[in-house]
A = this chain, B = another copy of it.
Amino acid sequence: MSSVDNQTRIEPATLEDLPMLIDLTMDLFRMEEDFEPDHFRQEEGLRLILEQPNRGRIFVLRTDYKIVAMVNLLFTISTAMGGFVILLEDLVVHPDHRGQSYGTQLMEYVLDFAKKKDFKRITLLTDKISAESQRFFLRFGFDYSHMIPMRLTFAP
């Protein structure tokens, strides 16, 4: 682990960040049981979100020259909650900078953003999150649901 200077800031990612975001998400999918990293797919998905801010927002914690952590928020509608809700995906801290509470800083920013914008709920859809990840999210008030996720993937 290496430390970054104190001049970190959190802001929405832009298209210029795409190469670094692809690297971070590919790292994440390499660790997840349900997914394979795929440069083309990660680029397509990230680009769609960056180009359509009404569908979601990618926030990054960065220095002037490096992205230290990212999180991907997708905006959708809940008939149960009666309003807009967030799907939180792709929370990744760069491997060189883990254990330094950058993930916590980013999550606090996300919760503040969600409350200010009147989102009704945040759901985590990340696959196969570890016990450590679960403890992380429990600390922010997340709770387990009774949902049983099922998926149908269409062949390319």
Give A contacts to B, CB under 8 Å. Answer: 25, 29, 32-35, 38, 40-46, 48-49, 52, 55-56, 72, 74-84, 87, 89-90, 111, 114-115, 119-129, 134, 137-138, 140-154
Instruction: Give A29 to B146 CA distance when docked, in angstroms.
Output: 13
Q: Tell whether, in the assembled complex, residue A123 and residue B144 are in contact, meaning their CB atoms are under 8 Å apart.
A: no
Instruction: Give A35 to B79 CA distance when docked, in angstroms.
Output: 11
Closest to A122 in B: B152
* A121-B153, A125-B147, A140-B152 known; A76-B76 Cβ under 8 A: yes
Q: Tell whether, in the assembled complex, residue B81 and residue A153 are in contact, meaning their CB atoms are under 8 Å apart.
A: yes
Q: Tell whether, in the assembled complex, residue B152 and residue A145 are in contact, meaning their CB atoms are under 8 Å apart.
A: no
Least CB distance from A29 to B in Å reads 6
Please indicate the chain B residues that have their CB under 8 angstroms from the CB of A75 in the complex.
Answer: 76
Q: Tell whether, in the assembled complex, residue B122 and residue A149 are in contact, meaning their CB atoms are under 8 Å apart.
A: no
* A77-B45, A77-B48, A154-B114 known; A146-B33 Cβ under 8 A: yes
* A79-B49, A79-B90, A82-B44 known; A151-B143 Cβ under 8 A: yes
Least CB distance from A33 to B in Å reads 5
Please indicate the chain B residues that have their CB under 8 angstroms from the CB of A74 in the complex.
Answer: 76-77
